[in-house]
Amino acid sequence: MWNPALETMDRGALRELQVDRFREQVRHVYEHSPFYREKLDAAGIDPDDIRTYADVREVPTTKKGELREAQGSGPFPYGDLLAVGPAEVTEYHQTSGTTGEPVRQADSWGDWEWWSDCWASVLWAQGIRPDDRVFFPFSYNVFVAFWAAHYACERIGAEVVPGGNLSSAQRVRKMREVDVTAFASTPTYALRLAEVAREEGFEPSDFAVERIVCAGEPGASVPGTKARIEEAWDAAVYDHAGATEAGAWGFSCDGESVGLHLNEAQFLIEVLDEDGEPVDPGETGEIVITPLNRTAQPYIRFELRDEIGLRDGRDVCDCGRTFRFAEGGVLGRLDDLTKVNGVLLAPTAIEDVVRSYGGVSDEYEVIIDGHDEKGDLDVVTVVTEENPGTGVPAAEASEELRKRLKQTTSITCRVDVVPYESLDRPELKADRLDDRREDHV
Ligand SMILES: [Zn+2]
């Protein structure tokens, strides 16, 4: 383990540590961030009153919309959220803005060291060691993406090969040329790189790659997607969850478990039901997260909008970590869950069905239309491609997938199987859901 003392800490001691650090975070933002001073005063919170875990829930949560508002006014560019002097900021990043205006994120050098320490826990748990040569095939730009993972590799002592400003073809050639032993990417792009490798005349499973660290999408905990990536590269595939506002908060390990250990040494992670009450192990809930060691632009009880199935980590995994566990990874972003004809649909459920069936390619998209011919039912169309590897005819693949989707999601879908390479090939996160219903926001 990267930090055995913290990762195997007794639960009681860990809870105490979390409450102490939470109180210090609240005190820090109360004293330095005008946004939080106002918010905490309005709620009547005195940082010194936070003494127990139950006291944490007295503190108001922070919503994404509030961050945008706070940056829309106040000093440019971070608004009233900044909790250090502007000269202390060393890193600029911003959220992707898929659900609205991007939020600008400031980090100090101390924050950045904390970020890479969190990522070092992730990478070490997934078997990255000083003798590894790790490739980073992503665009190094304003999005935090794998930036901190790059620094974490250096911290571990592994060798970093930055694959930023290269085409996908150049990237696979570089991976082959220098024999990288691991790479980090979204699940979507791990599949895409395997496809490009074949286009370039290589067999990806012949590469020296032994480990693939996935993040940005839940795919590495979706069994059908994980199996496809593992098979394509003949490598172990690991999952990681993080967010620009939170940090690198969850990771799968080298054990048999499927899902994420929650890094409770660096984050206070609450898993709450619709009424804001903590759920028990075995139940699902929404994550409300507080990074415990961040100073420049920290958040208190941030509503992450990720849903997980909570478990006691010691029941699920034998690696020895005492952290709680998200079984099956992030089950869905609450923003992505949608109702179709009254049935709740999680996009990852469709992903697993499509990727578990070998008769179609890795690519697919889901279109939801507001009306069928009669005008009153939602129509879900899954568009995917023929698989040149297995050669299953389009009509047969379409019928088989339709049956499997009905069985798993209880939703009757139309399935269009189009010729191979008809669909776009995304380079970072894929936007696979196209909801065309009028009342959809
Ligand atoms: Zn484990």
CATH number at residue 345: 3.30.300.30
Distance, CA 354 to ligand 1 centroid (Å)? 28
Q: What is the mean pLDDT of residues 328-353?
A: 82
Co-location of 325 and 372 in the same domain: no
Q: At 333, is the pLDDT very low, low, confident or very high (cuts 50, 70, 90)?
A: confident
Co-location of 144 and 239 in the same domain: yes
Burial (CB count within 10 angstroms: exposed 0-12, middle 13-18, buried 19+), residue 431: exposed
Distance, CA 255 to ligand 1 centroid (Å)? 5
Distance, CA 277 to ligand 1 centroid (Å)? 27
Distance, CA 258 to ligand 1 centroid (Å)? 9
For residue 49 the two structure tokens come to 């009153």
DSSP 33-71: -HHHHHHHHHTT--GGG--SHHHHTTSPPB-HHHHHHHH
Last residue of a domain, one of 334, 361, 378: 334
Whole-number average pLDDT of the chain: 93
Burial (CB count within 10 angstroms: exposed 0-12, middle 13-18, buried 19+), residue 416: middle
Distance, CA 408 to ligand 1 centroid (Å)? 28
Co-location of 306 and 348 in the same domain: no
Co-location of 395 and 272 in the same domain: no
Co-location of 278 and 222 in the same domain: yes
Q: What is the mean pLDDT of residues 71-80?
A: 89
For residue 172 the two structure tokens come to 């696979």
Co-location of 403 and 279 in the same domain: no
pLDDT of amino acid 340: 84
| Element (DSSP H or E) covering residue 125 | helix 109-125
The CATH number of whichever domain residue 80 belongs to comes to 3.40.50.12780
Per-residue pLDDT of 129-174, as tens digits, reads 999 999 999 999 999 999 999 999 999 999 999 999 999 999 999 9
Percent of the chain having pLDDT more than 90?
Answer: 79
Distance, CA 261 to ligand 1 centroid (Å)? 7
Distance, CA 292 to ligand 1 centroid (Å)? 22
Co-location of 314 and 342 in the same domain: no
Co-location of 326 and 369 in the same domain: no
- Checking if the pLDDT of 326 tops 80, the result is yes
Whether 375 is covered by a domain: the verdict is yes
Distance, CA 254 to ligand 1 centroid (Å)? 7
Distance, CA 319 to ligand 1 centroid (Å)? 4
Distance, CA 322 to ligand 1 centroid (Å)? 9
Distance, CA 276 to ligand 1 centroid (Å)? 28
Per-residue pLDDT of 359-381, as tens digits, reads 999 999 999 987 666 667 888 99
Whether 440 is covered by a domain: the verdict is no
Distance, CA 236 to ligand 1 centroid (Å)? 15
**Nearest by Cα to 80 from 44, 24, 29, 45:** 29
Distance, CA 317 to ligand 1 centroid (Å)? 5
Whether 441 is covered by a domain: the verdict is no
Distance, CA 4 to ligand 1 centroid (Å)? 13
Per-residue pLDDT of 206-265, as tens digits, reads 999 999 999 988 889 999 999 999 999 999 999 999 999 999 999 999 988 899 999 999
| Of 40-44, 93-97, 166-170, minimum mean pLDDT range | 93-97
Last residue of a domain, one of 310, 334, 358: 334
Distance, CA 69 to ligand 1 centroid (Å)? 39
Distance, CA 263 to ligand 1 centroid (Å)? 11
Give the chain's domain count. 2
CA distance 427 to 337: 23
Distance, CA 320 to ligand 1 centroid (Å)? 7
Co-location of 207 and 344 in the same domain: no
Distance, CA 324 to ligand 1 centroid (Å)? 10
CA distance 247 to 294: 9
pLDDT of amino acid 441: 42
Last residue of a domain, one of 314, 334, 354: 334
Co-location of 284 and 429 in the same domain: no
Range of the domain at 383: 338-435
List phi, psi (to 5°) of 421. Answer: 70, 20
